[in-house]
Each structure stands twice: as structure tokens, then as C-alpha cells.
Amino acid sequence: MAKVLVVTSGKGGVGKTTSTAALGGALAQGGDKVCVIDFDVGLRNLDLVMGAERRVVFDLINVVQGDAKLSQALIRDKRLENLSLLPASQTRDKDALTEEGVARVLNDLREKFDWIVCDSPAGIERGATLAMRHADVAVVVTNPEVSSVRDSDRIIGLLDSKTEKAEKGERIEKHLLLTRYDQARAERGEMLKKEDVLEILSIPLLGIIPESEEVLRASNVGSPVTLNNPNSGPARAYFDAVRRLKGESVEMMIPSDKKGLFGKLFGRRAA
Amino acid sequence: MNLMSFFNRRTSAPVARERLQILLAHERGIVGGKSDLLAQLREEILAVVGKHLSIERDNVQVKMNRGADLSTLEIEVELPGPEVVRV
């Protein structure tokens, strides 16, 4: 049975798109059939982060409106054949997305894939509510920073009231993904600790993604960080998160980037 | 910068935590946010007190403050003045 997962946050710039690409990548690297969908109509970026920006022909709105078949719009990843992308429209109006249309596309995707990962736009407007509307599972991406935590709290409220599951009286599964975490700063009292964020938001923790240069390095070259450098701290944290998502119990760690002797000597790499 | 402020300078996270806790306790009440606990408590208190006294909806306030060491639930029910009771 396919699962629809929404990656959401309220606040922009906290790592939704990065996390969508990395979670989608990690799920696909584990052998599952995965489709990632960009819901950010007008400001699409998942295509760029996944390195598929030059292969976009049709998009989600084309499919919703019946101008293109799903199979025409899906872009198969060049590195992983079981990973596909459904891009957002860059030019159309976001009102072109209808609830029924989105539901129809998701139902079609459910037959083809094991996981459908929806990259929500920031905010709490239509695009964000449509992205979460039909989800079975929500991953709330939060930075250890006051405005991000506040907005996540608001999004959790929406997940509990505005989703299809919530309206049917069922509970939507919610997980916290703490990103850009700097353990040293948290320990020095300069940054909210994971315990602080967990206590305030009170949803289970899916993973802690450490602040790392590897995230930018991966997006620079258009690759999910789990593919670009599977041994990096963030990649290992995303792999652990995916195992927890699938019900495994994995000890919570904050993996750091391992530096070899060369890296230690010279500090940074060129590429 | 004196010596105290030098040592206090770095621990801003507890301030962030406390500000968030106060703010969200307030916002959850208004937006009907994540936990409907407070709204539910308010409705039930209204119903129970309403059986015995006539009270205005707006005169029942339920507030929750979660702190690190101590959490409190504050319930304020404002009763009508004597002139209202006579009517």
C-alpha cells in the first residue's frame, strides 16, 4: 500500500526541498519505488535540487488539467531508476490546482509507487494546505530557531484539522525532522536543544540533520545529499530517518561529517 | 561589558525556549491550534458551571503555562454581578 508523505514546515528556508530530495533519494536507494512531487507552483525548485531542471516538459498542473498524461510529466531520475519527479509549474497560477485534481493524480500515483513525497510550499495558504490535504504521514521540518518552531506549531495545528485524515476523525502520523542542528552550539546554550523543540512541539522525532557543508555541496550539483555523499553526516541522518519512517527502531544519533587525514590537514575540499 | 554579562552572553537558548512556551500557550488558544485541550476544557467548564450559575461564554478563561520546573493551569470564571442575577 502506497504512502503519501508531506514534507512541510510553515516557514520558508528551513530545508523542505532539501529534505524531500534526501528522503526521496534515501527511500529509493533502499529499493522502494518513489515519486517526489513539487507543490510550490510558481517557485518550483525541487527539479533544480534533484538535477532535473533541464528535463521538465510537463508539470503537475498540466496533469491535473488533463493537458498531459502522468507518464509524460514524470521525470525518471538518471541515477536511480525507481525515483521519479513530478515538477511544479513555474508559470501557471497556483489556483489552477484543484483539490479533486490533486486527489486524482495522487490516486494514480499510489498505484505506481510505494512512496509519494510531497514537497510543500512555505506558508499556510492554498498550496501548503493542498500539499498536506491527502497525506498519510507528515514530516515537519524545523530549525532550532524561534520563528521556525512557532511556524511548525501552527502547521501541526493545520495537520490536525485541515487534512482529509483529520476530517475523518483519524490521526495523521506526524514526525519532527530537526534540521541545521549544531550540537556544539546547543550544548553551549546558544541554540535550542532537541529536547526543547520536542517538548514544545510534542510530536515524535524522526531525525536530527546536522548543519553541514555537504547540503549546499549536493544542491550545487543537483543531487540529493544521500546520493551525492552517502557517508556524510546529513546523508547518514536522512538514512536513519527513513528507517524510522518505515517503522524500524534506530538509536537517535547526530552523525557528523567524518574528515579523513587529508580533510583534517587541509580543512576543506575544492568540489 | 562587565564580568556577568560576559558569562551570560552565550546562553540565549533558555530565553528562546521560555519566549516560545509563553507565546505558543497563548497562540494555541487563539488559533485553536495543535491541542484543542484548552478549548475542550473551557467548553466543559462552561457546561458544568452553567448548570448552576448563568455565566457568559466570554467570562470563562482557561490558560496553561508550561515551564521547565512548574506548569500551571489557570481557570478564571467571572460570575455575573448581583444586578444581573436579579433580572
pLDDT tens digits for A145-172?
Answer: 999 999 999 999 999 999 999 989 888 9
Residue given cell 487534512 in the structure block: A163
Strand partners, A114: none
Q: How many structural domains are present in chain A?
A: 1
Residue A98 has which C-alpha cell?
484543484
- Could you tell me if residue A134 is inside a domain? yes
Measure A249 CA to nearest chain B CA, in Å. 26
Q: What is the pLDDT of residue B36?
A: 64
The minimum CA-CA distance between A123 and chain B, rounded to whole Å, is 15
What is the extent of the structural domain holding A244? 3-264
ipTM for this model:
0.82
The DSSP letter of residue B32 is T
Question: DSSP secondary structure string, A97-123?
Answer: --HHHHHHHHHHHHHH-SEEEEEPPSS
| CATH of residue A184 | 3.40.50.300
Q: Is residue A202 part of a domain?
A: yes
Nearest to B19 among A146, A199, A202 (CB): A146
* Mean per-residue pLDDT over chain A, rounded: 93
CB–CB of A75/A85 below 8 Å? yes
- Domains, chain B, ranges and CATH? 17-79 (3.30.1070.10)
Q: Give percent of chain A above pLDDT 90.
A: 88
Work out the minimum CA distance from B33 to partner chain A, whole angstroms.
4
B81: left (phi over 0), alpha (psi -120 to 50) or beta: beta
* Closest to A146 measured CA to CA, from B8, B23, B32: B23
Give B-chain residues touching A196 at CB under 8 angstroms: 13, 16-17
pLDDT score at B55: 84
In a domain, A75, yes or no: yes
Confidence check: pLDDT of A218 > 70: yes
- Chain A CB within 8 Å of residue B20 CB: yes
Amino acid symbol at A192: L
In a domain, A219, yes or no: yes
Answer yes or no: is A270 within a domain. Answer: no
Rounded CA separation A104/A124 (Å) = 22
| Structural contact between residues A211 and A181, judged by C-beta atoms closer than 8 angstroms | yes
| Structural domain includes residue A103 | yes
